[in-house]
Structure 1
């Protein structure tokens, strides 16, 4: 094709058809420009197609992760409510007139309260931010994604702070316990902590009750936090589902 164009130009020049040569040259330039524009258009279309496919994949991952988080919020709330109900039942019996110590101990032993920090599954948001691929999403969606991540980070900090009071009480309990005996490294139990559960006036019993109160407060706070996180997740889900 290039050889054909060259021959045509040479023929026009040899025949002194300058005007026709100029018209032809302009036409040839226009063809080249049009070819470049078409190539750029195809390239842009291909890049946009890749971006759309990548955004679709991110969207699918985000939706899956947010749904997983919502299930975890519900699971954590249900678990906390069950433990809180047992703690409240124990407190009610503790406050009754002349509670039977064996029954009281039995109720206390069923509490099984423990610390549990919720870990979000939304790793895709972190990937979007670190790679700069957040640019793939429309402005409103980007805003909601960042808002959801900020809410999660803030609430996680608040929950971790509430754990400090509980962990400090647990350390105090350990100081007043015979860990050697409790972890079965010895068959002898220290006299100061032997049968402490039957002594409602013991320091260890007081600390243990205080710990249960802290757990109740934590569960109530976590429920409030989970409501906020659940709301943020649902708002983001509603936007992602229409992309």
Structure 2
């Protein structure tokens, strides 16, 4: 087409038709511009199509990842809350001066704290680090996903502080138990069938009356309570994220 116009322009110039020459030249420019615009539009459409496909895959992958992570977290949060409840009852008992030492010694701190939350954010981290998270059109969902790592950092920091406290408590108790638990003549630890500790001298647990020990338990409760609050915040954002993910997936009819 351009060659056709060029020949016409050359003929018009040779014939001295300057006015017509400029009209054809303008027409040629317009055609070139239209061609460029069409090419750009096709390219934009193609890029949007690719971005849409990438978004669909990301939405499904994110949903699966969040569902997998939250199952373990539910168990941990339940264990933390149960531990907090148990420790509160234990603290009320040992901090009560009217309760006999024998009764305090028989009480035990509730175990079963639930372990660590080994969360895997491979999909989310990949989207954030590569910038592909921008493919997600839902701004509310994008905001929630962007702040999710911050919530996890807050959780991990509090977990670390709590575990450091429990390590200090263990260091505090160890020398007291080591010197107090009865041993046999050869120096080995005595074994009590079925963990029956009634045969132990209750005085070995005299530390339950120590203010330092009670403060450790109070701090333990405080950390567990903070973790429980963080559980609530994380679940709130998780539920919002899942709601937006399901809306997007259902609206796009992604299989």
- The reply to whether TM is greater than 0.5 is yes
8 Å contact from structure 2 (residues 69, 119) kept in 1: yes
Q: 1:20 aligns to what?
A: 20
Question: Secondary structure in 1 aligned to 2:16?
Answer: coil
Question: Secondary structure in 2 aligned to 1:241?
Answer: helix
8 Å contact from structure 2 (residues 80, 224) kept in 1: yes
Q: 2:70 aligns to what?
A: 70
Question: Secondary structure in 1 aligned to 2:203?
Answer: coil
Check 1:198–1:92 CA distance in 2 against 1; reply closer, same or farther (3 A cut): farther
Q: 2:134 aligns to what?
A: 135
Question: What's the offset of the Cα at 1:203?
Answer: 5.8
Q: 2:193 aligns to what?
A: none
Unmatched segments (≥5 aa) in structure 2: 179-185, 191-196, 249-255
Q: 2:200 aligns to what?
A: 198
Question: What's the offset of the Cα at 1:156?
Answer: 2.3
Question: What's the offset of the Cα at 1:190?
Answer: 6.7
Moved more, 64-73 or 197-206: 197-206
Check 1:66–1:200 CA distance in 2 against 1; reply closer, same or farther (3 A cut): same
1:115 and 1:174 mapped to 2: Cα distance?
23
8 Å contact from structure 2 (residues 12, 18) kept in 1: yes
Q: 1:183 aligns to what?
A: none
Question: What's the offset of the Cα at 1:163?
Answer: 1.7
Question: What's the offset of the Cα at 1:157?
Answer: 1.5
TM-score (norm 1): 0.70
Question: What's the offset of the Cα at 1:43?
Answer: 1.0
Question: Secondary structure in 1 aligned to 2:202?
Answer: coil
Q: 1:182 aligns to what?
A: none
Question: Secondary structure in 2 aligned to 1:58?
Answer: helix
Unmatched segments (≥5 aa) in structure 1: 179-186
Q: 1:225 aligns to what?
A: 230
Question: What's the offset of the Cα at 1:145?
Answer: 1.9
8 Å contact from structure 2 (residues 84, 224) kept in 1: yes
1:11 and 1:77 mapped to 2: Cα distance?
86
Check 1:91–1:141 CA distance in 2 against 1; reply closer, same or farther (3 A cut): closer
Q: 1:159 aligns to what?
A: 159
**Larger RCO (CA within 8 A; separation ≥ 6):** 2
Q: Deviations over 1:73-102 (max 9, x none)?
A: 222234456767888999999989977x9x
Question: What's the offset of the Cα at 1:32?
Answer: 0.4
Q: 2:182 aligns to what?
A: none
Check 1:115–1:203 CA distance in 2 against 1; reply closer, same or farther (3 A cut): farther
Check 1:196–1:157 CA distance in 2 against 1; reply closer, same or farther (3 A cut): farther
Moved more, 215-224 or 90-99: 90-99
